[in-house]
Structure 1
Amino acid sequence: MENIALAKKISYHPGETNNRGEVIIEPCFPGYGITLSNSLRRVLLSSLTGAAPVGIVIEGVSHEFMTLPHLKEDILEFILNVKQLRLKMFTDEPVILNLEVHGKKTIKASDIEKNPLVEIANPDLELGSITDMAGKLKAQIYVEKGMGYVTIESREKKQNIVNYIEMDSIFTPVISVGIKIENVRVGKMTNWDKIVLDIKTDGTIEPKDAFNESVKILINQFKALNPDFKEEEKADPEEEIKESEDVAEEEVAVEKKRRGRPKNS
């Protein structure tokens, strides 16, 4: 079988901000620019692990269609703002973030109590506004790790938390992936492909690291499709019969103990 040439050069070019960068892959065998770039883009947008709010408890609020005294936004709008928090978690366990503010002020993500297990990538995000010195807001924001987009309906409900309001969660740390395929020369041929991936993240992961993670995911998936992978050893039929007989004997013994020994005739 003729081998298809592999790309020989992968370079990374940082963008103007830390959350944007270009990955250039070249030269790719003719037609493989689209094949590879589409696969990478799909994984980048759907399969990387991230962190996001999954629910909230607000003091004095029992459901999302209420209002809170002196809070400019209604609760639904406030929750929509909370969903925009971009988080980086250093644990696989769920974490509760505490938010407590008093007096007239604009509530920002930076007002959330610091937690060593969670880093907020957008601390300047405005969550709401308290319009009077008598106003206050106290909330617990539940955050978890996950992948992709998870709806309320697909998540296990937390029945034991009073006034817990669930929310849909966007875990993916990659915001957008632009693809550009250009022609490059290889020897006398000019139809080889050059892939330019423009990756933009939410700031919780660098574009280069996101690219590396997506490559690892694809490699693991294709390993499972490799026809040379070692199949699981099949059990010896005689051993299976012997195990079945042993189990049957155990079941009979247990049944005799449960019913008691039969009387002699």
Structure 2
Amino acid sequence: MNRKLVIGDIHGGLRALHQIMERAKVTTDDTLVFLGDYVDGWSESPQVIDYLIALAKKVNCIFIRGNHDELLLDWLTGNTKNFDELMWYKHGGEATVLAYKSVPRETKNKHIKFLKELKNYYHDSRNRLFIHAGFTNMNGIHYEYFPKLFYWDRTLWETALSLNPTISKDSILYPRRLTLYDEVYIGHTPVTRIGETVPIQRACVWNVDTGAAFQGPLTIMDVNTKEFWQSEPLNVLYFNEKGRN
């Protein structure tokens, strides 16, 4: 059976990525949709990108762009004119910079190519949207004025999270953004902020960021059956590191 599997934010946690691939028993018949933020946090950001580049040669992979991936691309290409390096360091960038000290230029160039080719979103034939953070235009992704919001926005999840479940979709009070797609899969804002460590659905939005950057697990989920598999908490796998804690 061909599965479509969605993977939450990895943040340099290669050990966790290995675990979920094994626990979900991923095969070459599966399609993998990665929601972005492959880097910044734990110590193996370069190795995560190496792994994903190699994986895409064997398995059908769709790689979405996360905000941390763009930050890494800016740093690798020297595009740091409006770059707050200190802020990036505080949010996981320092571990990435340290990890790249031993990475040869040829490999860095391959990573730059990978980062440049990331997609802003993936909209499948069943009207399911896969996007790192969200979108703000009430008419949907094709009308977004500021594409950076695809990987920086938090208002879509906040809207879904705060929505009164008794409001009918037919009501004029129901947010139009939550009626456009049958399902929206996001990362970016970890569900650990609301005390959860499993994928959470609110309205049509599924949040698959289960806090791997901090003290939560990494998650892979079958979007058809909603079955999911998780790694051990990342602070357990990297017990001698801080991650983004």
Q: Which structure features the higher share of strand residues?
A: 1
Task: With the length of structure 1 as denominator, give the TM-score of the two structures.
Answer: 0.19
Q: Which structure features the higher share of helix residues?
A: 2
Instruction: Work out which of the two has the higher radius of gyration on C-alpha atoms and give 1 or 2.
Output: 1
Task: With the length of structure 2 as denominator, give the TM-score of the two structures.
Answer: 0.20
